[in-house]
Amino acid sequence: MIQAEQIRTESKAAAKGGLALARDFAWLLAGALLLGLLIGLGEYAALPPALDIPLGILRLLLGLAYILYAPGYCLTAALFPADEDLDGIERTGLSLGLGVAWVSILALILDRLPWGLQLWPIFLGELISMILFMVIALWRRARQPAGLAYAPEMEWRPGPWWASLPQLDKRVYLLCAAALLVAGLAVAYVFLVPSDDEFMTEFYILGKEGLAEDYPRQAEVGQALSVTLGLNNLERETKTYNVEVWAVDPWEDRRELIQTAGPFTLDREASVEQPLAWAMPWAGDDQIVEFYLYTTDQEGQDPYRSLRLWLDVLPDVDQDLERPQAVEEPEEKGDLQIVPYGDG
C-alpha cells in the first residue's frame, strides 16, 4: 500500500511537472487561437464601427506579438531548454531577434508555394512552425534534470518582478519596449494610413477573350484592330476621362492620332470596359500604338496614364493589286516597233 501510494504521488508530481513545462506554450497557443478568431471576424463578419475599431487595434497588437516574438520565443526554448542557459533579458532579446529572422525565412518559403504571401497562409505558417518548435522544446525540457528545465512562472506579478531586477536589466527592458513601440507604430502607420499609390486610376487593355494576352501583333494597313479598354476609378472623387490612340513610327519619326474614346465619367470605385478599335495608317516593322489616358483637369499636359503595343504592319495587298502598274513603252527603231513578249 505504501509503495502504491508513493507511485501515485510520483505520477502526480510528474504530471504536474509536465504541465509546468508546457504552461507557457499553452498561453501562446491560446493567444494564437484568439488572433485567428479576430482575423476571421475582421475578414468575414460585418462588425459595427463601435466594435470594429477596438477589435482592429487588439488584432494589430496581438498580431505584432505573434509575428515578432512568439515564434522566436518557441525557437529559443527549443535551442536553450535549461534555465541556466540564458537569463531573462538574454532570452527576451534572442526571442525578438529569432522571431524577426524566422519571419523572413517563412516569407521566402511561402513565396515559393502556390498560396503565396497571403494573410491566412502566413498565420498558419507561423502557427505550424510554433507548434514544431514547441514539440522540440518540450522534448528537450523533459530530458533536463529535475528542476533545471526552463519553466517560467505564468503567475506574473509585475511590481515585485520589476523591483527585483538590476538597474541594467531595467534599462534594457525599457529599450526593448521602446523598440517594440516604434515597430508597432511603424506597422500601424503602414497598414492604417493609405499611400498615394492606393488612390489612382487603373488603366488597362485586354486582348482576345478578355485576357491580358493575345494582343494584335501583325496587321495590314487599314485593317481593323481592336482591344478591350478598361478603366477603374480608385481616386478619392468622381473623375472624367478621355482616351487617345496614336500610331508612332520609330524609324521615320512620325506620329498620327488614329482614334479617340470618351469621355467616361466614373464615380469613386466605378469601372468600365468597352471595345476600342483602330487601323494602322502606314506599313513598317515594330510600329508602336500608344494609348493615352487624360482626365478633364489635364488638358494640355502629359498623359495621366499610358500604355503601348508593338506590331508589324504589312502593306495592303488588295490596294497594291488595284493600283495601276507602269507599262513599259515600246522602243522605236525606225519604222519598226519592238513590243515586249506577252504584251500582244
What the chain holds in terms of domains, given with CATH numbers, is: 2-155 (no CATH), 201-322 (2.60.40.10)
Higher pLDDT, 292 or 173: 292
* Distance from C-alpha of 134 to C-alpha of 27, rounded to nearest angstrom: 12
Tell me the pLDDT of the chain averaged across its residues: 79
Q: Does residue 21 register a pLDDT over 60?
A: yes
pLDDT at 6 over 80: no
pLDDT greater than 70 at residue 8? no
The pLDDT confidence band at residue 246, using thresholds 50, 70 and 90, is: very high
335 has a pLDDT exceeding 60: no
pLDDT at 190: 66
The residue assigned the cell 494597313 is: 221
Backbone angles phi, psi at 231, to 5 degrees: -135, 140
Higher pLDDT, 17 or 278: 278
How much is the pLDDT for 333?
A: 42
Report the range of poorest mean pLDDT among 131-140, 166-175, 225-234: 166-175
Q: Give the pLDDT score at 275.
A: 92
Mean pLDDT to the nearest integer, 205-215: 86
* Residue 186: predicted pLDDT: 75
Q: How far apart are CA 341 and CA 333, in angstroms?
A: 17
Tens digits of residue pLDDT in 77-98? 999 988 888 877 788 888 888 8
Spell out the residues 6+ positions from residue 252 whose beta carbon is closer than 8 angstroms to its own: 284
Cβ contact 198:234 at 8 Å: yes
Which pLDDT score, from 0 to 100, does residue 163 have? 79
For residue 142, pLDDT beyond 70: yes
Report which of 169, 22, 150 is spatially closest to residue 76, judged by C-alpha positions.
150
Residues 288 and 308: their CA atoms lie apart, in Å, by 7
Give per-residue pLDDT as tens, 252-283: 889 999 999 988 999 888 899 999 999 999 99
User: How confident is the model over 280-303, as a mean pLDDT?
Assistant: 86
- pLDDT tens for 95-137 read 888 888 888 888 888 888 888 778 888 889 899 999 999 999 9
The pLDDT assigned to 299 comes to 65
Q: Which residues pair with 257 in a beta bridge?
A: 246
Q: Quote the pLDDT of residue 195.
A: 60
**Is pLDDT at 62 greater than 70 in this prediction?**
yes
- pLDDT over 60 at 328, yes or no: no
The confidence score (pLDDT) of residue 322 equals 52
- Copy the grid coordinates of residue 112: 515559393
| pLDDT over 90, % of the chain | 23
- Retrieve residue 274's grid coordinates: 468597352
Q: What is the pTM of this model?
A: 0.51
**Nearest CA to 63 among 195, 180, 194, 174?**
180
Residue with cell 522534448: 139
